[in-house]
Amino acid sequence: MRPPFPLSSRWQSHEKRCASHAQHAESGFSLVEVLMGVVILAGALGMAAAMNGVATRGLNSSTILNDRNAAVDADIAMVRSMAERYTWCSGAPSLEASDTPTCLGNSPSDESYFSPAVSQDDALIYEEVGNPSKANYEQACRDGTLSDGLIQRINDRPTPAGFSRTAAGINSGGERTHRIQVLYQTARTDDNPVVRSVVITPPVASFCP
């Protein structure tokens, strides 16, 4: 019995199918391979975008911190300048001796700029009696209130943007000193928290008896 198709025809058909598969394989990727490539590429792009976002946020955060620290540095410089000009030469706290006609010195380099004094024989001396300005100054030295006027003036200043600032006297052994702590702090919920502290001793305290 003869086969329905010649053997040569069946062999030729098989060879054509093999050739077709080989040609298809050589001509490109299968659909599954293409989809896998798309998924891998999408994942890589997503990771790159996430890393870029992290880097950008880090750069922005660093810029914010630098700006805030610069603002605090400028404020600290102003506070130190206020402390250097703070005087009791009239018997009451003031930031400028030149604002008080009773003060003999107009330069922070002179003792008469800071504490009450009178001129006698071309010399600056403390008046021993009958000088309420001197009595007020010495009392403030004794009870630790000498720096209170400066503390109030610091706290009355506008604060750097994004900060709270608190100036307060420092206690030692349960007693007030003439030193002042100035604390700068951002909100606790801030993404870029900054806490700075500086201690200041006004020169006027150097002339306490």
**In the structure, what pLDDT confidence band is assigned to residue 147 with cuts at 50, 70 and 90?**
very high
Residue 184 predicted with pLDDT over 80? yes
Q: Using CA of residue 78, residue 84, residue 85, residue 90, what is the dihedral sign?
A: positive
Q: Is residue 56 part of a domain?
A: no
Structural domains of the chain, count: 1
CA distance 173 to 199: 17
Residue 56 predicted with pLDDT over 60? no
Q: Are 98 and 113 in contact (CB under 8 A)?
A: no
Q: Is residue 138 part of a domain?
A: yes
Tokens representing residue 56 in the block: 């950008």
Q: Range of 96's domain?
A: 68-207
Q: Is residue 52 part of a domain?
A: no
Convert the pLDDT of each residue in 58-112 to its tens digit: 545 677 778 888 888 999 999 999 999 999 888 888 887 766 666 777 778 777 7
- Predicted confidence at residue 27, as pLDDT, reads 54
Q: Is residue 19 part of a domain?
A: no
Nearest-CA neighbor of 147 among 194, 64, 204? 204
Residue 54 predicted with pLDDT over 70? no
Q: Are 112 and 119 in contact (CB under 8 A)?
A: no
77 three-state secondary structure? helix
Nearest-CA neighbor of 167 among 188, 196, 138, 206? 196
Q: Is residue 124 part of a domain?
A: yes
- Predicted confidence at residue 193, as pLDDT, reads 66
Q: Is residue 116 part of a domain?
A: yes
Distance of CA 33 to the CA centre of its chain: 53
CA distance 198 to 50: 40
Residue 159 DSSP symbol: P
Q: Is residue 136 part of a domain?
A: yes
Q: Is residue 164 part of a domain?
A: yes
